Amino acid sequence: MSSSAILQMREVHTYYGESHVLQGISLDVARGELVCLLGRNGAGKSTTIGSIIGFNPPRYGHVTFCGAEITHCPPYHIAGSGVGLVPQGRRIFRDLTVLENLTIVASKPDGFWTTQKVFDLFPRLEERQSNRGDQLSGGEQQMLAFGRALLKNPSLILMDEPSEGLAPLIINELGDVIRKIKDEGTAILLVEQNLPFALLLADRCYVLNKGRIVHESSADTLRQNEEVTKQYLGV
């Protein structure tokens, strides 16, 4: 057990009904580290996120955050303990304005992340703060999802496919934002299918295949491992 680990999963088995999706997942994320979880569609990446945040609690195994067991805690408890989520598909409140989306989740008024700091990070959100969520572009909606997660002032952020469906220019902008978030000391577990994007950001990578971790290494090592990238990532 790493003394620097903020998140630990140990031999996690998660099911949908009787379908055995995660089959003994173990992984660590250290404080201030960006770890990427890679794999093809159906490998179990989003289920891993759901097992951490409490949407799909593991049937067996353990998940700990800051040394405390959270395996079977409800999502609101896990979020309140300092785990932020940028979900796949953004899931913003489409009928609320940008400002309303942000203010309803804001906490810790003395925390580092405030609504103004989010606007400083995403100037377009400040410009469009009176627009409803359904009036935003896909990239702006993703910025809003990021800002919403940051306003909880989390120690760890789970990001599920943040680049999905976005134009290359917007993906580059989000990559810069993710680096800034990490530089502020926030740990990140990033689920991605965009391998070049992930490898530019990650410190370490896990590769998931059919519910099992089949590879773990630094991003630089994975970048040079053609056997793993071809076999499990289709590159």
Asked if 159 and 197 count as a contact pair (C-beta separation under 8 A), the reply is: no
Nearest alpha carbon to residue 65 among 183, 182, 189: 189
Nearest alpha carbon to residue 92 among 104, 101, 79, 84: 101
Asked if 97 and 132 count as a contact pair (C-beta separation under 8 A), the reply is: yes
pTM metric for this prediction = 0.91
Asked if 162 and 190 count as a contact pair (C-beta separation under 8 A), the reply is: yes
Q: Is the dihedral of CA 103, 176, 183, 3 positive or negative?
A: positive
d(CA 200, CA 219): 8
- The strand pair at 187-192 and 204-209 is best described as unpaired
Asked if 6 and 31 count as a contact pair (C-beta separation under 8 A), the reply is: yes
Q: Give the three-class secondary structure for 97.
A: strand
Q: What is the pLDDT of residues 71-120, one digit of tens each?
A: 999 999 999 899 999 988 778 888 899 999 898 876 666 678 889 999 99
d(CA 167, CA 97): 23
Q: What is the pLDDT of residue 203?
A: 96
pLDDT higher than threshold 70 for residue 166 = yes
Asked if 97 and 129 count as a contact pair (C-beta separation under 8 A), the reply is: yes
Q: What is the pLDDT of residues 22-32, one digit of tens each?
A: 999 999 999 99
Q: Provide the pLDDT confidence category of residue 55 given band limits of 50, 70 and 90.
A: very high
Asked if 22 and 12 count as a contact pair (C-beta separation under 8 A), the reply is: yes
Q: CA-based angle 194:162:103, to the nearest 5? A: 170
* CATH hierarchy code of domain 5-233: 3.40.50.300
Half-sphere exposure of 181 (CA within 13 A, CB side): 34
pLDDT higher than threshold 60 for residue 8 = yes
Which spans in the chain are helix H? 45-53, 75-80, 98-103, 115-121, 123-127, 138-150, 168-183, 195-201, 219-223, 226-233
| Burial of 157 (C-beta count, 10 Å sphere; 0-12/13-18/19+) | buried
Q: What is the pLDDT of residue 20?
A: 96
pLDDT higher than threshold 50 for residue 44 = yes
- Tokens 């590769």, located at residue: 207
d(CA 25, CA 10): 6
Q: Provide the pLDDT confidence category of residue 1 given band limits of 50, 70 and 90.
A: very low
